[in-house]
Amino acid sequence: MSANSAFNDEKGGSSSVGEPEYGHDPASGGIFSSDYKRHDDLKEMLDSNKDSLKLEAMKRIVAMIARGKNTSDLFPAVVKNVACKNIEVKKLVYVYLVRYAEEQQDLALLSISTFQRGLKDPNQLIRASALRVLSSIRVTIIVPIMMLAIKEAASDMSPYVRKTAAHAIPKLYSLDPEQKDQLIEVIEKLLADKTTLVAGSVVMAFEEVCPERIDLIHKNYRKLCNLLIDVEEWGQVVIINMLTRYARTQFLNPNMNESLLEEGSDKTFYGSDEDEDEEEEEEKDKKAEAPAMAKRKPYVMDPDHRLLLRNTKPLLQSRNAAVVMAVAQLYFHLAPKAEVGVIAKALVRLLRSHSEVQYVVLQNVATMSIKRRGMFEPYLKSFYIRSTDPTQIKVLKLEVLTNLANETNISTILREFQTYIKSMDKDFVAATIQAIGRCATNIGEVRDTCLNGLVQLLSNRDELVVAESVVVIKKLLQMQPEKHSDIIKHMAKLTDNIQVPMARASILWLIGEYCEHVPKIAPDVLRKMAKSFTNEEDIVKLQIINLAAKLYLTNSKQTKLLTQYVLNLAKYDQNYDIRDRARFIRQLIVPTEKSGALSKYAKKLFLALKPAPVLESPFKDRDHFQLGSLSHLLNAKAGGYQELPDWPEAAPDPSVRNVEVKDSVPEWTKCSSREKRKEKKVEKPFYSDSEGESGPTESADSESDSASGSESGSGIEESGSGSESEESEEGSESEEEEEEEKEKDKKKKKKELKKPVQESESEQSSEEEERKHERKSKQRKSESESESDEEEDSESESSQTESEDSESEAEVKKKKKAAESKPPSKPVKKDNKKEKKEMSLLDLDDFEPAPSPQATPVNSFLSNSLATDLEGLSLSDAVLSPATISPSSALKSYEMLHRITGEGLSVEYCFSRQPFSPDANMVAVQMQFTNNATSDTKNLHMEDVKLQSGMRVKEFPEIELLPAGEMVTAVMGIDFCDSTQAANFQLCTHTRKFFVSIQPPVGELMRPVFLTENEFKKEQEKLLLGQLMGMNEITEKITLDVKCRNEHSIVQRVITAANLSRVPCGSDKECSPPVPPPDHPVHRFAGRTVTSSSLVLVTVATKEEGAAKLTINCEKMVIGTMLVKDILLALTQ
Amino acid sequence: MIHSLFLINASGDIFLEKHWKSVVSRSVCDYFFEAQERATEPENVPPVIPTPHHYLISVLRHRIYFVAVIQSEVPPLFVIEFLHRVVDTFQDYFGVCTEAAIKDNVVVVYELLEEMLDNGFPLATESNILKELIKPPTILRTMVNTITGSTNVGEQLPTGQLSVVPWRRTGVKYTNNEAYFDVVEEIDAIIDKSGSTITAEIQGVIDACVKLTGMPDLTLSFMNPRLLDDVSFHPCVRFKRWEAERILSFIPPDGNFRLLSYHVSSQNLVAIPVYIKHNITFREGSSQGRFDLTLGPKQTMGKAVESVLVSSQLPRGVLNANLNPSQGTYTFDPVTKMLSWDVGKINPQKLPSLKGTMSLQAGASKPDENPTINIQLKIQQMAISGLKVNRLDMYGEKYKPFKGIKYMTKAGKFQVRT
């Protein structure tokens, strides 16, 4: 036999075809007989210099290892090949080495130098696998080498190698726990790593090596929260579990206020099992210091606590059951009661998964459903049992159903139970009967119904069913025995048939206990039992003795002899328990001279009133174990289980989680990086959360700012995109907030802010100028304010921001669409340019706008002509009224560089509103350089342009010489990407550099387009009925300035504020709706944003006495709101 | 975390073992065998078994027990989910996950397990990454390898490992660019004796087979996304976009994958596609029982009900069944007492029925339980919830892909109590 199997091995150890001896138990294989022979040929193959032979040999060896055969004698031959060039051979040698190194330590050392070489390999995969194997070789001697290798790998360039280093840490720790301190240092270092790849592994190392060092997490807490969504799923599980523990030590119990409020009412409402132990303890404390508690300020959730809850919530949608469970337990342990409900749906979903998953999930649901019954009530039907479920699943579902039962649903549940009782699975039937019993004890109204049902079951043919019913009935009867003597009688009859010991014992106990209710039957039962005493099981015998004793005490006349008889039988029983019991009872009840004082009290001892048993769920109080853990499942502490700490009385200092920003970023770069992310999101919006407040993220934000900065430098990986998109939202959100703030504080701030502005501007304080500056500084201020306000506001604003988020998403989408639709429009534009001259010459006279404002000569001419070009082209066949053309506006100029700061050089810029010929997507900015100094300025050019991603700049050509006192203009183009973010750059002369920035008013970010009134209305409708109804329209009621109540001035002011073209109205023939009454004309303006060509539609509907309604339709909410403000200002002042 | 893994076949042989930390003796499996013996059915072996020094966490798939040995606290679902992932990977690599397939490819299995776990902690479980590390065995490749001496093992770190889209490798090329989506819905229902629905719900999945060149960015939108109540996504789906717009936007993995699984909101009434008329009776004192079953279509929206399979576990007392099907074939296994009737397609004009008698053990009292009837069925070209894909768009690549969407409805856990 043994020789035979060895022979087989010899012939075909390879892995190609299934061999007959596979199924064979390898332990009985003939290792001894032909070992040498067999391994000789393998050795030969390994020694050959052909890779294919080596590979073949290694494959056979690995196949043997897989079957659990001992191949340790090949160690020397195999280890030689550790440096083999063939990567597959190498890998298989690694497999072998890791398996046997612990047994053959000396020989294993031979391979170490190869790995050390591998650690320096330029290929990151080889570096990583070298470290993996090196750290897996469990040889104590190489601990220092491993330590060194881990330290080195922890600062490797490749995140993959760093991940491997994190994996190696627990390996080394299990080999030599003395290294703990050094390893903690490495863990600390790796915890600071910002890549998602490393995060999961290092937290795992942390959990294995130093779970008690919770202080290491502080600095990384926010980062981990933000990265979480992009970490691979296994890492997510580990991190979430760790963060649950962390949160329990750092934050306050979110439910403590509730428990305070509900203190009295809780019990009456929800029944006693609703109470939590912790709460009870707390309550005790509370009573002691009740007055103090009353004064305690209301609970405010730590923003970091909120951050954790918010960032884990989307993971409930994960496909990985372990992740879903991890989030569920986090919510169960950490979330305010009102929010825990969200996990129910996800958990119920998991019930569709493999039966093993169901098993674990149901265990946890069972525990949860005791405390938070309401959470699962809507899903009651999901726990209905199918005949195909495995028994263990059925029993667990039953448990959940029982926990969920209450007055309202008990009737449906009982109906379900009725079908279960007919099941073929007897274990399940037994469990159902117990469940019925529990329902009956918990819900008083159905107790009688249940009891009757159970009594009916007593006539069931299946003995198991009857026995189980008896046991349950016994428990129920104990609650109100007087009422049910007929049931007791009925059960007494059953003793003839029922054979299950537990049931017999229960019946006997019942009869004994309530012998007064059945005075006639009880002695008779005892008589029968005495007869069969010797054949009974032990528990039955004990109950017979009990019954006898009780009857002796109550009805000694009839039963004295019987009792004597039973006691005599028991005296000689084989079981010492029974003998002891008999002796004890005889002494107690039968009065003799010797019997002491005790016998007087025998009646009290035996016939004392016994409290009814409480039928409890086996899952009660299991939640002191962290849910989802192995310990919870087994209801016993598993090795390495970390206790879930109780909430702290007072929260530890939250500032420990603050991370100092390494390089303090000026306000604008912060904005810009946000903006950059926003742009990125257009390409890769990953998961991110929807609701928001930004207390903690504000700082987390800046932290990962520096992170992405440093990492994009290395260019290998991108830092967690989840956090990025997350933050981009913060960006947009705070933008919104800014605006709100702006509105709120407008009046207040205006006064305050004007002063400093005016100081700096001594010369040109035109109104526009002022306004613009105001805006700038307001923005800055409101930003800082909003940061501080956010903590309070956050809660109330979250719902609002949600809608805003969705809006920004829509924006992104539309941007895409718009971008697609753009290309075809380009050629048209080019044509325009070619024809520009003739067209403008021809048309200018015809289409001269009625209200022709004064304009800066050069620019107005050009921009005007463009507008006319466009109109002329698009409307070549339409009849135009003379008043249809967009009148050009007076151009506002802004100061870029004041002559004092510029040391004589002053620069102003204006938006010329003409197309920027090199790139149609750019806004043309015209700059006027004036040299007020006494010396010439040379080499004027720009440098170091700092832009958000997506923004582009076309620099103006270098101005070689600007003589003293002269003035020169230059034009540059900026693509602002439809945002009002500033473009920052340095203006360089031959001697100096000045930091300057150009910030466009929102009105300059668009170009006029021509629409007829009908088209205008159609577009407006489209925008309104589009994806996000109503989001695209902003309406404002205004009172027009006294000076601007005629058509002319309204048009002029609007067009000054924004680069739009007027839509002809009223006189148009094709206009289907009736012409608006001439005394309340409606003015319409249209334009498109420069970069994404989204339509911007402005309507000013005038009413009597200067009242008017301003409506702006634009897909871009931000542009729309800003534009409203600008136009509002223009019209009211 | 996961210390060792043992694969045990139905007859209780350990046919593969793999250790990640120090070696655990296979005698630890004796505790498992004990539990297996106690369990009446194979699926009743508890998934978690504590032993004095270890914990055994096992899953049963394809009649193979995958038993993981754990030494300390770990979320049990973590291990269970991982084991299922291992099985899925094997299935992906070898087509089937049977004992024979595993034995035939034992080296690849070993290499895979080595890559999937490091020190018991999952390292690479994404099939796209694994396939770059270890090429799936094909006959052609085996031949080429033996001739050229090249290997199945990749030498470079898979691009997916470090990318933000770890599920997709770079440089994918196809001549025919295709994307197929299967919307498959399953009806889970319990119908009571009288034919009224006790509980019914619809669970659906969208399985995709995407073979597209480059890095396509797809968006899939639904006509009626509000139907979807609870969803879980493949990691590639941008959750944010879904939250905001109810649009699935994703860079797909290469090849087959499950894009999403969903649950249709419970407010919607579920259309039950078939009804059953049944009359299964046992008479007291007689050793005969009557069995009478008729199937009919109901709420199928004009589509044919196909591949109908009716199965029922008859009471233990039934010795044999002598039945007469109007169409299809039936089998009765006298050992397991399992009756199954392969009906095929339901013809609404001539309803399929199965009638006859059952013979009971002589002298035994009549079984007091009635069997439940399980039904499997398929309806092509229809999603029973009414879910419809609106459109599929591709961004990021220039070519025009071929797109296909298929709908199907199946019966999931569909039971009729009698």
Give pLDDT, residue A82. Answer: 82
What does residue A628 show for φ and ψ, rounded to 5 degrees?
80, -5
Residue of B nearest to A817 (CA): B395
Instruction: Please report the pLDDT score of residue A149 as a whole number.
Output: 92
Report pLDDT for B66: 94
Average pLDDT over all residues of chain B = 86
How many Cα neighbours within 13 Å face the side chain of A328? 34
Report how far Cα A936 is from the mean position of its chain's Cα atoms.
61
Cα first-last separation, chain B? 47
Residues A1039, A1052: Cα–Cα separation, whole Å = 17
DSSP code per residue over A864-879: HHHHHHHHHHHTTTS-
The DSSP bridge partners found for residue B323 are: B356
Q: In B75-226, at which residue ranges do the beta strands (DSSP E only) sit?
A: 117-118, 121-122, 178-191, 197-211, 217-222
The answer for residues whose C-beta is within 8 angstroms of residue A440's C-beta and 6 or more apart is: A446, A447, A450, A451, A476
The listed range with the strongest mean pLDDT (A282-286, A478-482, A605-609) is A605-609
C-alpha distances out from residue B215 to A683, A688, B250, Å: 12, 22, 10
- pLDDT computed for residue A1071 by the predictor: 41
User: CA of B406 to nearest chain A CA: how many angstroms apart?
Assistant: 22
Best CA proximity match to B413, nearest among A345, A390, A388, A394: A388
Rounded Cα–Cα distance for residues A958 and B85 (Å): 63
Give the least confident one: A620-629, A784-793, A924-933, A1064-1073.
A784-793
Burial group, residue A1064, by CB count within 10 angstroms (0-12, 13-18, 19+): buried
Using a CB-CB distance cutoff of 8 angstroms, which residues of chain B are in contact with residue A641?
Answer: 72-73
- Report the first-to-last Cα separation within chain A, whole angstroms: 107
Q: How far is Cα A1124 from Cα B103, in angstroms, rounded to an integer?
A: 73
C-alpha to C-alpha distances, A1035 to A707, A729, A1031, nearest whole angstrom: 42, 25, 11
Spatial CA neighbour of A998 closest among A712, A843, A776: A776
Which of A640-654, A770-784, A1111-1125 shows the highest mean pLDDT? A640-654
**Closest CB to A349 among B73, B78, B230:** B230
For A387, the closest of B18, B59, B372 (CB atoms) is B372
The answer to whether the beta carbons of residues A874 and A1011 sit under 8 Å apart is no
Residue range A633-647: average pLDDT?
86
The average confidence (pLDDT) of chain A is: 73
A820: Cβ contacts below 8 Å, ≥ 6 apart: none
- Taking an 8 Å cut-off on Cβ atoms, the answer to whether A640 and B72 are in contact is yes
Choose the closest CB to B78 out of A322, A685, A690.
A322
Query: A806–B59: do the CB atoms touch at under 8 Å?
Result: no
Strands (E), A947-978: 952-954, 959-962, 967-975
Cβ contacts of B365 on chain A, cutoff 8 Å: 461
Quick one: pLDDT at residue B410?
Answer: 92
Residue A122 forms contact with B (CB below 8 Å): no
Q: Which helix (H) or strand (E) holds B130?
A: helix B127-133
Average pLDDT over every residue of B360-389: 83
Tens of pLDDT, residues A390-407: 999 999 999 999 999 988
* B17, B151, B156 ranked by CB distance to A68: nearest: B17
The pairs formed by A36-41 with CB atoms below 8 angstroms and a separation of 24 or more are: A37/A10, A38/A6, A38/A9, A38/A10, A38/A13, A39/A71, A39/A73, A39/A74, A41/A10
Task: Return the SS3 of B99.
Answer: helix
Summarised one tens digit per residue, pLDDT across range B392-414 is 999 888 888 899 999 999 998 89
pLDDT in tens, A661-696: 544 334 443 333 434 444 433 333 344 343 333 334
Are B240 and A809 a contacting pair at CB < 8 A?
A: yes
Mean pLDDT of A352-359: 91
B190 vs A contacts (CB less than 8 Å)? 384, 386
Quick one: tokens of A357? 């998953």
Number of Cβ within a 10 Å radius of residue A780 = 14
Fill in the DSSP letter of residue A340: H
Give tens-digit pLDDT for A778-833: 455 444 444 444 444 444 444 444 444 444 444 544 544 544 444 444 444 444 44
Pairing mode, strands B402-417 and B178-191: parallel
Integer Cα distance of A575 and A562 in angstroms: 21
Task: Choose between B362 and A653: higher pLDDT.
Answer: A653
The answer to whether the Cβ–Cβ distance between A17 and B40 falls below 8 Å is no
Question: Taking 80 as the threshold, does the pLDDT of residue B346 lie above it?
Answer: yes
pLDDT surpasses 70 at A538: yes
Sequential DSSP letters for A710-754: HHHHH-S----HHHHHHHHHHHHHHHHHHHHHHHHHHHHHHHHHH
CB pair distance less than 8 Å for B239 and A387? no
What distance in Å separates the CA atoms of residue A242 and residue A221, rounded to the nearest whole number? 11
Maximum Cα interatomic distance, chain B, rounded to a whole number of Å: 78
Q: What is the pLDDT of residue B87?
A: 93
Question: Model ipTM?
Answer: 0.92
Query: How far A381 CA sits from the closest chain B CA (Å)?
Result: 6
In this structure, are residues A831 and A885 in contact, taking their beta carbons and an 8 Å threshold? Answer: no
Tokens 């329990």 correspond to: A248
Among A155, A1101, A223, A349, CA closest to A659 = A223
Rounded mean pLDDT, A937-949: 77
CB spacing of A319 vs B235 below 8 angstroms = yes
pLDDT band at A1026 (very low <50, low <70, confident <90, very high): low
Which chain B residues are Cβ-neighbours of A62 within 8 angstroms?
Answer: 106-107, 110
Q: For tokens 């960015």, what's the residue?
A: B217
Q: Which residues in chain A are closer than 8 Å to B415, comparing Cβ atoms?
A: 386-388
Q: Which residue's entry shows tokens 């049992």?
A: A385
Question: For residue A344, what is the nearest residue in chain B, using CA coordinates?
Answer: B230
Q: Count of CB atoms within 10 A of residue A191's CB?
A: 20
Q: Residue A69 corresponds to which amino acid?
A: K
Tokens read off for A905:
């050089």
Q: What is the pLDDT of residue A680?
A: 39
Interval B378-387: pLDDT, tens: 999 888 888 8
Question: What is the average per-residue pLDDT within B158-185?
Answer: 82
Quote the DSSP letter at residue A1066. Answer: S
Query: For the residues of B349-366, what is the DSSP string, one character each?
Result: SS--EEEEEEEE-TTPPP
CB contact under 8 A, B46 and A17: no
Q: Note the Cα B398 to chain centre separation in Å.
A: 36
| Residue bearing tokens 């015209």 | A926
Residue B206 CA to residue B387 CA, distance in Å, equals 11
- The string of DSSP letters for A8-56 reads HHHH--SSSS--GGGGS-GGGS-HHHHHHHHHHHHHHHHHSS-HHHHHH
- Collect all residues with Cβ–Cβ distance below 8 Å to B343 and sequence separation of at least 6: B295, B308, B309, B310, B325, B327, B328, B352
Say what the pLDDT of residue A855 is: 41
Residue A386 contacts B where some CB pair is shorter than 8 Å: yes
Is residue A172 within 8 A of residue A143, CB to CB? The reply is: yes
* Inter-residue contact A357 to A365 (CB < 8 Å): no
Residue type, A194: K
Which residues, at least 6 apart from B141, have a Cβ–Cβ distance to it below 8 Å? B135, B152
β-pairing, A1033-1039 vs A1107-1114, is antiparallel
d(C-alpha B7, C-alpha B26), whole Å? 11
Distance CA A925, CA A434 (A): 83
Query: Of A27, A318, A639, which has the smallest distance from its Cβ to B72's Cβ?
Result: A639
* Amino acid present at A400: V
| Structure confidence at residue A719 as a pLDDT band (50, 70, 90) | very low
pLDDT of the residue at A851:
43
One-letter amino acid of A435: A
Distance CA A704, CA A719 (A): 9
Buried-exposed string A67-83: b where 16+ CB fall within 10 A, e elsewhere? bbbebeebbebbbebbe
Q: Is A984 helix (H, G, I), strand (E, B) or coil?
A: strand
Contact A944, A925 (CB under 8 A): no
Q: Is the pLDDT of residue A283 over 60?
A: no
Task: Summarize pLDDT for B109-143 with one digit per residue, the tens.
Answer: 998 998 898 888 888 888 878 888 888 777 666 66
Distance, CA of B99 to CA of A23 (rounded, Å) = 10
User: What is residue A9's predicted lDDT score, i.e. its pLDDT?
Assistant: 40
Helix or strand or coil: residue A1095?
Answer: strand
Q: Which amino acid is at A966?
A: E
Distance CA A811, CA A1116 (A): 6
pLDDT of A748 over the 60 cut: no
**Mean predicted confidence (pLDDT) in A100-110:** 84
Q: What are phi and psi of A128, to 5 degrees?
A: -65, -45
**Model confidence pLDDT, tens digit, residues A990-1003:** 877 888 888 888 88
Distance CA B72, CA A357 (A): 20
Name which of A755, A750, A758 is nearest A778 in CA terms: A750
Q: Is B307 exposed, middle or buried (0-12, 13-18, 19+ CB in 10 A)?
A: middle
Closest partner residue to B107 (CB to CB) among A15, A360, A424 is A15
Does the pLDDT at position A95 exceed 70? yes
For the record, the structure tokens of A526 come out as: 């005892």
Nearest residue to A1081 (alpha-carbon basis) of A1131, A1045, A1038: A1045
Nearest beta carbon to residue A686 from set B78, B198, B238? B238
CB < 8 Å to B122, chain A: 232, 234
How far apart CA A1022 and CA A1035 sit, in angstroms, is 17
Chain A, chain B: beta-carbon pairs less than 8 Å apart: 290
Q: What's the confidence (pLDDT) of residue A586?
A: 86
The percentage of residues in chain A with a pLDDT greater than 90, rounded to a whole number, is 11
- Nearest C-alpha of chain A: how many angstroms from B140? 14
Percentage of chain B beyond pLDDT 90 is 30
For residue range A548-593, list pLDDT tens digits in order.
988 888 887 888 888 889 999 998 889 889 999 998 888 888 777 6
